[in-house]
Structure 1
Amino acid sequence: MTTLIEKIVGDLGDKRRWRQYKARVKGLPASHRTTVETLERYLTYFGGITKGDIPVDVVMSMLEDLAGLFEQAAADGTPIRTVVGAAPVEFAETFFRNYSDGRWISKAHDQSISAIERGFYKEIERGINKERERLVNAVERAETEDGGNRS
């Protein structure tokens, strides 16, 4: 019976793992939570996770490690800027590369793709740029919030 249900709704273990990850993130202080959620969103765009190129277990390991990193930072009282450095986008991209062999978006540079595909990749690139800006802004806001709590 479980296999029939899993065929219909997907792997229940993956869904359980996702809920556990989201609960961990929800338990973080607001500034850390916002940063993790923004990084998660950026990694989704940057890594093409929504396209399904990366196995679910790899994505979940990456997100669980991200949550663990920020849980430890929150427990130690480490400021977000110390965790992500001066360039949050570079942090996110380096973090992602530790879990994959590269970005799927690099396919856009292949000259053999059609004009429709190039248009699609340009649209994705615009989304990535928007998420980069959102990530930097979230880290700056979180840094401001942390600074306000420490005074």
Structure 2
Amino acid sequence: MGIQDIIEGKRQWRAHVARVKALPPDYRIVYQEMQRYLFKVGPVDLIDGDLLPGIVDFFAGGAASGKGVLELIGSDVAAFCDDLIKDSRTYAEVYQASIGEPGKP
């Protein structure tokens, strides 16, 4: 990864954060909780993937249509997140595989 890649990555992340800040307060709060949850248990490719920008797109569409955030995702935010990443390899799975392999301490 070169310096240009790092600079581009920071630019993209700042643009993403600006989009999150533009969401209505209730959407922003739920997004931040989802992001926190996904960073703890989420997929290995979370940062490089389209999941977080996709959530912002989904929320922006819901806000534009006048729906409340819980109307879109339901009352169980963690279950919604788990459903989003159900087919993705998570850090928890990587860890479990590393401690479950023979010959590993």
TM-score by length of 1: 0.57
Q: Quote the sequence identity (%).
A: 24
- Note the C-alpha offset of 1:11: 1.8
- Note the C-alpha offset of 1:55: 6.7
Whole-Å separation in 2 of the counterparts to 1:55 and 1:84: 19
**Match of residue 27, structure 1, among 18, 22, 26:** 22
Whole-Å separation in 2 of the counterparts to 1:55 and 1:74: 24
Whole-Å separation in 1 of the counterparts to 2:84 and 2:53: 12
Bigger RCO (CA 8 Å, 6+ sep): 1
Whole-Å separation in 1 of the counterparts to 2:12 and 2:53: 9
- After superposition, the C-alpha distances for 1:85-104 in whole angstroms (9 at most, x for unaligned) are 24221101111335x3x222
1:71 maps to 2:60:
yes
- After superposition, the C-alpha distances for 1:50-95 in whole angstroms (9 at most, x for unaligned) are xxx427421xx11110111111111111112221124221101111
Q: 1:47, 1:103 within 8 Å by CA — same for their partners in 2? A: yes
Q: 1:14, 1:56 within 8 Å by CA — same for their partners in 2? A: no
Kindly report which structure 2 residues correspond to 1:2-151, keeping only aligned pairs within 5 A, or say none.
Answer: 3=2, 6=3, 11-47=6-42, 53-54=44-45, 56-58=47-49, 61-97=50-86, 100=88, 102-106=89-93, 107-108=95-96, 111-112=100-101, 114=105
**Structure 1 residues 11, 44: closer, same or farther in 2, change over 3 A?**
same
Unaligned runs of 5+ in 2: none
Larger Rg: 1
SS at match of 1:78: coil
Q: 2:46, 2:52 within 8 Å by CA — same for their partners in 1? A: no
**Structure 1 residues 76, 55: closer, same or farther in 2, change over 3 A?**
closer
Q: 1:26, 1:33 within 8 Å by CA — same for their partners in 2? A: yes
Q: Segments of 4+ in structure 1 off by > 4 A?
A: none
Unaligned runs of 5+ in 1: 115-151
TM-score by length of 2: 0.79
> Which structure's residues are more often helix, by fraction?
1
